[in-house]
Chain A
Amino acid sequence: MKHLLSTENLSLFDAIRVLDTAEEMSAVGEREVKKLPALRGRTVVNLFFEDSTRTRISFEAAAKRLSADVINFAAKGSSVSKGESLKDTAQTLAAMGADAVVIRHWASGAPHRLAATDWIDAAVINAGDGTHEHPTQALLDAFTMRRHWSQVNGIESTGADLKGMRVAIAGDVLHSRVARSNVWLLKTLGAEVTLVAPPTLLPIGVEHWPCKVSYNLDETLEAGIDAMMMLRVQGERMNASFFPSTREYSRRWGFDDARLRALDDLGMKDTIIMHPGPMNRGLEISSAAADSPRSTVLAQVRNGVSVRMAALYLLLSGDSREAAPNLSQSSKETN
C-alpha cells in the first residue's frame, strides 16, 4: 500500500492488516501515555478543502500519537481560497517535505489526482472525496463491527473477518461516500449488506453493486440484521425533490423510536445501531436510538483514531509487506 484512496481496491489481506494494526493501536490509546515514537520526524499534512472538524481532529490525534509532525492546511483562509490550484498546493506541500497528505476534498477523485500525478510524492490518504469514498470511515466502521461480531461469536477479533454479518445501511446513498466505502469493504470482509433508501437517493447503476437494495426499512429489519447503519440526510435535499418533506423521510426511512422497539420485539438483542456522525437527531435517527445501549456512535469515534493511526503507520513505516512490529515493545521505550 502506497496510498489509501478507496476501499474498492483494498484486498482482504490489506483490510485485515489495517484492522489488526488498529487493534494494537487501540491498546496504546488505553494507556496513560498515549504516544508511540513510530513516526517521529515524519510530517503529515491535513489538507482540508472542506470543513470537517471531526475527521481532521481524528487524523490529527492519530498522527500525534505516532509522534509525527502535523500541519493543518485548511482551504479556507489559505491561498486556496484565493484560487490556487490543487497542483500548486500539492507542489508547495511537496517542497516543504510532506511525507503524507491526508486530503479531504469536495471533488470526487481529488485524492486520486494527487496520487496519480507527479505533483507530489507523498503517501496520500483519502479523508473523504466528494460523493466518492471515505475509506478510513469504512475501516473504522468495520473495526467497530468486527469487535462486536467477534464478541457475539465468542472469538478473538484480531485476524477475524465479518463473514455472515448482516448489515443494513439506510439513508442518502446517492450522495454518500461513507455508503460506497462501506459497501466495498464489507463485501470484501464477507458481510451481507442491504442498502435501504428512497429510490431517488440511490444511484443509477446501484444494481451492479455487491449488495441488496430495499426501499422498505421495516421489511429489512424484519428479515433480521446485526448492524443498522444510519446515514446523515441533508434536509435541503427535499428542495431538489429527492423526497417530499423531512417528516415523510423520517417516517419511512428514519430510525425512530418505533423501529428501536421493533428490534426488541423481533428478538434482535445483539443488533447495534451505527452512525458516522454528525447526526440529525429527529431526522434519520431518533434521540432514543442514538443514546440507546445499542448505539456505537461514540465507539466509532474512538475507533477512528486507532484506525487512522494504523493507516498512517502502515503507509509511512517502511516495508509495508511486513506485519506491524511489536508495538508494546516500542511503547515501553516511550514510557
Chain B
Amino acid sequence: MAENTYLIRGAAILGGEAEDLLICDGVIEARGKDLSAEDATVIDAQGLVALPGMVDVHTHLREPGREDAETVETGTRAAALGGFTAVHAMANSNPVADTAGVVEQVHSLGRASGWVDVRPVGAVTVGLAGDQLAELGAMADSRAQVRMFSDDGICVHDPVIMRRALEYVKAFDGVVAQHAQEPRLTAGAQMNEGAVSAVLGLTGWPAVAEESIIARDVLLAQHVGSRLHVCHVSTAGSVEIVRWAKARGINVTAEVTPHHLLLTDELVRSYDPVYKVNPPLRTDSDVQALREGLADGTIDVVGTDHAPHPSEHKECEWAQAAMGMTGLETALSVVQETMIETGLMTWADFARVTSFTPAVIGRVADQGRPLEVGEPANVILVDPAARWTVDPHKMATMGRNSPFKGKELPGSVVATFFKGHPTVLNGQLNTPYRYPAVSSN
C-alpha cells in the first residue's frame, strides 16, 4: 500500500496556490493544505507547478518497421521525460496502422512498455494511399479503441474520400486528423515558399497549399456534420480560416507544434537538414499568428509531431534529407518559452492546450482530467525556474534531430506520475507502470 502512496508537498496547482496532493493507488485521494499520510513517500514540490500529464495528439513512434529510428519503448521513455502521460502514435509505420491487427500491436507494445498511454492512430486509407478507406470500424472496435484517424505525412487530398471518412467516423465518435497539404502545389517542395526560398533556390511549399485544404475540409465537415482535426497548422492564413470556421460553429479543432511556435525559415539558410520538416518552418509573422491563435483558443492544442530519424537521414544534402524533428523532450520548455514567458498564456492555459483538450479530441479516458479528488493520478511536476541547454545526445529518444540543439530553454519536468506511478523522478526516468495481470483477454 505504502509504495503506491505519494504525498506531493506544496506544488502550485496549475500555477495557482500551493497545495498538497495525496496520490494513492492511481488516484488523487486528497488535495489541500498540510495533508498528512503515514507511510507515504513525500515529494517536496516547493516552487514546482503541478499539471495534468500532457497528452500528445501527434507522435511518431516508428514501430513497427523503423525500429532503427525509434521504438515504442524509447519513444515513450522520451514522452515520460517530457511530461507526457499519453501519446497518439501516428499510423505511418510499416506496415501501416490500417488494420485492427497493427493498431492492437502498437497498443500492446505501449502497455508492455508502461511509460505512458499509447493511443494508436488509425490510417484513414489503406496503406495511406488515399484511394480506399481502411477498416476504420474494425480499428475502433479493436482493443486499441482507435478514435483518431489520420494519413499524417500524406494529405487525404481526394475530396470524396475525405468526405466519406468524415461521415463514416461519426458511427463511433471518431475524428479525422488531416495533414493539410495540397499535393500538386507541393510537388518536390523543400521549404516554405517566400523570400528565403527564392534566395536559396529550394523548391517552395506555399502557404496556400495548406490553407486551401483546410478551407475545403472545414466546409466538408460542416456539410456532413462531422468532427475535423487539423494537424500542425503552420501559417497565419490557416489560423484565419480556422477562426472563421469556429465562428460559424463548425466542429473543427486545430493543433500547432512547438517548433512552429518558435522557429522560422531563416534557419534554412544554413542548409542544415535538422531544420527540414513538414509542414516547413514559416516566417516570423506566421509564428506570431500561431502564438496568438493558440492563446485565443483558435488553435486548441499543442501536438509535438515528434519525428525521429536515423542520423544518416539528416547527415546529407538538404534535398535528400528526411523531414521531421524530435519534440517530446522539448515541448514543455518551448511552449513555456513562447507562450508563458511572453505573457500570452498561464499554466492553467498550458494545461488546457497540452492535456485537457487533447484528451477530449482523442477521446482518451482517464487523461486530461482536473487535479481533483477522485481523479486518475496522471500528474506532472514542473520546475518553471529551471534553465537547461538542449543536448540531443542526452535524450531518451533515439532521434538526434532536435532543431533546438544548443539552445537554452526554460522549464524542466521534475516528476511524471502515470496512473499514480512515478515514471520520472528528479528529472530522471524511474520505473514504468506495470499493468495488473488480466486473467482473460
Q: Give the B-binding residues of A (Cβ under 8 A).
A: 8, 85-87, 105-110, 112-113, 116-117, 129-133, 177, 180, 203-206, 208-209
Q: How far is the CB of A133 from chain B (nearest CB, A)?
A: 7
Q: Which residue of A lies closest to B206 (CB)?
A: A204
Partner of B201, one of A113, A117, A132, A208: A132
Rounded to whole angstroms, the CA-CA distance of A252 and B327 in the bound complex is: 50
Query: What per-residue 1/0 map shows which CB atoms of B314-335 lie under 8 Å from chain A?
Result: 0111111000000000000000
- The interface stretch among B123-131, B191-199, B380-388 is B191-199
Q: Does B270 contact A (CB under 8 A)?
A: yes
**Please, which residues of chain B bring their CB within 8 A of the CB of A132?**
200-202
By the criterion CB–CB under 8 Å, are B204 and A108 in contact? no
Q: Does B38 contact A (CB under 8 A)?
A: no
Rounded to whole angstroms, the CA-CA distance of A105 and B318 in the bound complex is: 12
Q: Known contacts being A112-B270, A131-B201, is A105 close to B317, with CB within 8 Å?
A: yes
Rounded to whole angstroms, the CA-CA distance of A199 and B350 in the bound complex is: 45
Q: Does B312 contact A (CB under 8 A)?
A: yes
**Please, which residues of chain A bring their CB within 8 A of the CB of B272?**
113, 116
By the criterion CB–CB under 8 Å, are B317 and A110 in contact? yes
By the criterion CB–CB under 8 Å, are A204 and B201 in contact? no
Since A86-B320, A113-B317 are in contact, a sample of 17 more A-B pairs with Cβ atoms closer than 8 Å, ordered by chain A residue number, is A85-B312, A85-B316, A86-B316, A105-B317, A107-B317, A107-B318, A107-B319, A108-B271, A110-B317, A113-B271, A113-B316, A130-B201, A132-B201, A132-B202, A203-B204, A204-B204, A204-B206
**Please, which residues of chain A bring their CB within 8 A of the CB of B198?**
203-206, 208-209
Complex interface residues of chain B between 251 and 279 (CB less than 8 A to chain A): 270-272
**Please, which residues of chain B bring their CB within 8 A of the CB of A86?**
316-317, 320
Q: Known contacts being A85-B312, A116-B271, is A204 close to B197, with CB within 8 Å?
A: yes
Rounded to whole angstroms, the CA-CA distance of A65 and B276 in the bound complex is: 41
Q: How far is the CB of B297 from chain A (nearest CB, A)?
A: 32
By the criterion CB–CB under 8 Å, are B271 and A109 in contact? yes
Q: Which residue of B lies closest to A111 (CB)?
A: B271
**Please, which residues of chain A bring their CB within 8 A of the CB of B196?**
205
Rounded to whole angstroms, the CA-CA distance of A153 and B190 in the bound complex is: 45
**Please, which residues of chain B bring their CB within 8 A of the CB of A87?**
312, 315-316
Partner of A133, one of B201, B204, B315, B318: B201
Rounded to whole angstroms, the CA-CA distance of A8 and B269 in the bound complex is: 12
Rounded to whole angstroms, the CA-CA distance of A87 and B206 in the bound complex is: 30
By the criterion CB–CB under 8 Å, are B202 and A109 in contact? yes
**Please, which residues of chain B bring their CB within 8 A of the CB of A180?**
199, 201
Q: Known contacts being A85-B312, A116-B271, A204-B204, is A107 close to B195, with CB within 8 Å?
A: no
